[in-house]
Amino acid sequence: MPLRPARRRRTTAGAVRATGAVLFALAAATVTTLSAAPPAAAADTWTEVGSDRADPLTESQGLASVEVPAGSGNRYTGIGTIPLSLSVRGWNHVGDPDASYDGYYVEPYQSDSNNAKLYRVQAPGGAWSEYVHALAPGEALNNSWDAITPDSQWMLSGEWGTMTRFLVFPTPGANPATSPSANLPQVSTVRLDHAVRDVQGCDFTGPTTLLCSSDDPAGTLFGITKPLLRIDLSAAPNGTSDVTGHVTALRQLPLRSSCSGTFEAEGIDYDRRSGTLRVIVVSPGFCVLTDSKTYRFTRS
């Protein structure tokens, strides 16, 4: 996968090597562009209203709309946004970030060697801190995304592959029970009623509703590849008990490019101020450089 980790999350060095391979072997690419499939029936309809080019180095993994401080605007993550201080310690992949309504911005990082996950947090005042979660037995190392509850106190995170759960943590920084000097614990679980595959990002649209972008390449779970998913929770996460999540596939994400090959659905953001949903879709082959997009949607 050029200029970005592959679906199995290669290291940054691996992504850079893959870039050269794509640029020199593009002419030999024979993979057919994924064809669109009819969207699954659902009451929630999101209509595409526009798009913006996504830079492959700095806007290819995730995005978040930050409300505090005033004027913070939209922030993106990509291979080029990983701080050197983290990269040299093995934190070689950054996922889809999120921001709480009161201004805590959280970036998720993963490592191939640290047996842990890291969350880099910027407080509303601008100071940065790091929170580490030691992997529990059976927990996948992938740290593709985080989603902060509207009350700012709890944070969901997901694992790669085919999964029937999301993990719940106290939101680092925003929840007073957290500390950079202590392990960030998993406190509960969202139990999904339908398997999901390769979720790249989720964001809350309300206390018990999430929208998620899935990079599912097979299409066997919902009848479409690269679906936009809605997760309806049985209750708002509270950090003390598990909740269930009802999964619905809403539509296929846009798969348009001048190049043929395999697209990658990336991070997602819902801006409650404008009601705009944004999702990154990275183009295949050489077109990762030219026509990868952040698509914009509104509810209709």
Q: Inform me whether the pLDDT recorded for 9 exceeds 70.
A: no
Contact between 154 and 237 (Cβ < 8 Å):
yes
Q: Inform me whether the pLDDT recorded for 33 exceeds 50.
A: no
In a domain, 2, yes or no: no
Distance between CA 51 and CA 140 in Å, rounded? 33
Q: Inform me whether the pLDDT recorded for 18 exceeds 50.
A: no
What is the overall mean pLDDT for the chain? Answer: 88
Q: What is the pLDDT of residues 229-286, one digit of tens each?
A: 999 999 999 999 999 999 999 999 999 999 999 999 999 999 999 999 999 999 999 9
Q: Inform me whether the pLDDT recorded for 27 exceeds 50.
A: no
Q: What is the pLDDT of residue 39?
A: 42
Please tell me the least confidently modeled range out of 34-38, 46-50, 120-124, 228-232. Answer: 34-38
In a domain, 263, yes or no: yes
Look up the CATH number of the domain holding residue 190.
2.120.10
What band does 30 get if pLDDT is binned at 50, 70 and 90? very low
Distance between CA 143 and CA 166 in Å, rounded? 11
Mean pLDDT for the stretch of residues 124-129: 94
Q: Inform me whether the pLDDT recorded for 41 exceeds 90.
A: no
**Structural domain containing residue 243:** 12-299
Q: Inform me whether the pLDDT recorded for 156 exceeds 90.
A: yes
Mean pLDDT for the stretch of residues 164-177: 98
In a domain, 1, yes or no: no
Mean pLDDT for the stretch of residues 29-43: 40
* DSSP per-residue letters across 46-100: EEEEEEEE--TTTSSSEEEEE-SSTT-EEEEE-GGGS-HHHHTTTEEEE-B-EE-
Going by C-alpha positions, the residue among 120, 193, 197 that lies closest to residue 155 is 120
Report the percentage of the chain scoring pLDDT > 70.
Answer: 85
Q: What is the pLDDT of residue 5?
A: 39
Total domains in the fold of the chain? 1
Q: What is the pLDDT of residues 213-227, one digit of tens each?
A: 999 999 999 999 999
Q: What is the pLDDT of residue 73?
A: 87
Q: What is the pLDDT of residues 58-71, one digit of tens each?
A: 999 999 999 887 55
In a domain, 278, yes or no: yes
In a domain, 178, yes or no: yes
Q: What is the pLDDT of residue 44?
A: 87
In a domain, 219, yes or no: yes
The 3-class secondary structure across 101-146, one letter per residue, is: CCCCEEEEEEECCCCEEEEEEECCCCCEEEEEEECCCCCCCCCCEE
Q: Inform me whether the pLDDT recorded for 103 exceeds 90.
A: yes
Measure the N-to-C terminal CA separation of the chain; round to a whole number of Å. 34
Higher-confidence position of 210 and 72: 210
Q: Inform me whether the pLDDT recorded for 98 exceeds 80.
A: yes
In a domain, 4, yes or no: no
Q: What is the pLDDT of residue 267?
A: 98
In a domain, 173, yes or no: yes
